[in-house]
Amino acid sequence: GQNIDQPTEMTATEGAIVQINCTYQTSGFNGLFWYQQHAGEAPTFLSYNVLDGLEEKGRFSSFLSRSKGYSYLLLKELQMKDSASYLCAVRGGAAGNKLTFGGGTRVLVKP
Amino acid sequence: DTEVTQTPKHLVMGMTNKKSLKCEQHMGHRAMYWYKQKAKKPPELMFVYSYEKLSINESVPSRFSPECPNSSLLNLHLHALQPEDSALYLCASSRGPDYNSPLHFGNGTRLTVT
């Protein structure tokens, strides 16, 4: 099976940096995704990591360490619109293509 | 705007009703998914279709019946649901079942079972 852990909630100030950690255990790892979900809306794709290291995409970066079963999403220069839930999702499982989501981290950006 | 379209946006149904949720994408994606999401919880996988064939069924009760008429359409037929089935039902698609293909989600159908 798959087990994915991330903090429930984080608060940060506008303009600051926030790091959301995700740890996972899975049989058959085929990549880790980060999604953003605003309340009442669909999840939207942010990033994908399958090899160790850092992927940077504008204000958002994602890091993966496969040996540690660990990833983080880094949000820089926080804006009020970044207040949302951030979901870590792991692709794996017996068939290899099952995408399972962690519980999500609610980020609240304060002025 | 999402490129995966789900209808209806909201649905209220009784426990004896039969209804269907519809999902459509025109991105040429060959994998489609149904997820269920309860309030303040992550999406939970229900079904995966790959090249119009059911490839994953996460032990979903038979009162939920998926159908993939063609590569652009995905339906979820509902019958004799329970109040605890009330949730947001999300459809998603990806380029294929290949591992680095991100899922694109529709805005969901908010279902209430009375």
pLDDT tens track for A24-75:
998 888 899 999 999 888 899 999 999 999 999 999 999 999 999 999 999 9
**Residue B97, pLDDT above cutoff 80:** no
B57-92 pLDDT, tens digit per residue, is 999 999 999 999 999 999 999 999 999 999 999 999
Look over chain A and give the mean of its residue pLDDT values, rounded to a whole number: 93
Residue A40: predicted pLDDT:
85
**Residue B1, pLDDT above cutoff 60:** no
Using a CB-CB cut-off of 8 Å, the residues of chain A touching B48 are 97-98
Is the sign of the CA dihedral B36, B29, A96, A31 positive or negative?
negative
Per the CB < 8 Å rule, is A45 touching B104?
yes
Tell me which residue in A30, A48, A101 faces B43 most closely, judged by beta carbons. A101
First-to-last C-alpha distance (Å) of chain A = 41
Per the CB < 8 Å rule, is A42 touching B108?
yes
Tell me the CA distances in angstroms from B30 to A34, A96, B22, B51, B93, one per residue in order: 22, 16, 16, 5, 7
What mean pLDDT comes out for the span B21-41? 94
**Residue A96, pLDDT above cutoff 70:** no
Interface of A with B in 5-44 (CB under 8 A): 30-31, 33, 41-44
With a pLDDT cut of 70, the percent of chain B lying above it is 98
Distance from CA of A95 to the nearest CA of B (A): 8
Cα pseudo-dihedral B31, B37, B43, B47, rounded to 10? -30
Per the CB < 8 Å rule, is A98 touching B105?
no
Residue B100: predicted pLDDT:
77
Residue B14: predicted pLDDT:
92
Per the CB < 8 Å rule, is A97 touching B104?
no
A10-36 pLDDT, tens digit per residue, is 999 999 999 999 999 988 888 999 999
The residue of chain A with its CA nearest to that of B48 is A98
What mean pLDDT comes out for the span B10-24? 95
Confidence class of residue A95 from pLDDT cuts 50, 70 and 90?
low
DSSP H/E element including B94: strand B87-94
Residue B2: predicted pLDDT:
58
**Residue A2, pLDDT above cutoff 90:** no
Using a CB-CB cut-off of 8 Å, the residues of chain B touching A48 are 100, 102
Using a CB-CB cut-off of 8 Å, the residues of chain A touching B56 are 95, 97-98
Per the CB < 8 Å rule, is A30 touching B99?
yes
Residue B79: predicted pLDDT:
95
Using a CB-CB cut-off of 8 Å, the residues of chain B touching A33 are 102-103
Per the CB < 8 Å rule, is A103 touching B42?
yes
Tokens, residue A74: 């880094």
**Residue B50, pLDDT above cutoff 70:** yes
